[in-house]
Amino acid sequence: MTMEKKTARLRRAKSTRAHIRNLGVARLSVLRSGQHIYAQVFSADGSKVLAAASTVQADVKEGLKSTKNLEAAARVGRAIAAKALAAGIDKVAFDRSGYRYHGRVKALADAAREGGLQF
């Protein structure tokens, strides 16, 4: 990944994050790499990570054919929803981090909604 590509993605993410900060709700942030997908729920002020899940974790990765497909993303979505609900959070704002809302990002979001999170 070139630096320009990453810079452009972060530039796209900036306005979304500013908007979420004004809303004052917890933020579900997604990071997508070539091999893995990560999700974190940040507190409303962004100072604390309240829940995290990724395909790096053994319990999520177990039984998956690959950590970089839709099935893996959906499993991370279900895991982050369960952890967030356990931490007492049911309403979040979805931060796609400048990625297009399709493919793995969409699969994660849909699975998190099914898991009980409200966007």
Residue 50 belongs to domain spanning: 3-114
CATH number at residue 79: 3.30.420.100
Question: What total number of domains does the chain contain?
Answer: 1
**Measured distance between the N- and C-terminal CA atoms of the chain, rounded to whole angstroms:** 30
Determine, yes or no, domain membership for 119: no
Residue 61 in any domain: the answer is yes
> What is the Cα gyration radius of the chain?
14
Could you report the average pLDDT of every consecutive run of 10 residues in the chain (119 residues)?
88 95 96 97 95 97 95 97 96 97 98 97
Which among 97, 93, 59 has a CA at the least distance from the CA of 78? 59
Structure tokens given for 95: 């931060």
pLDDT at 74: 97
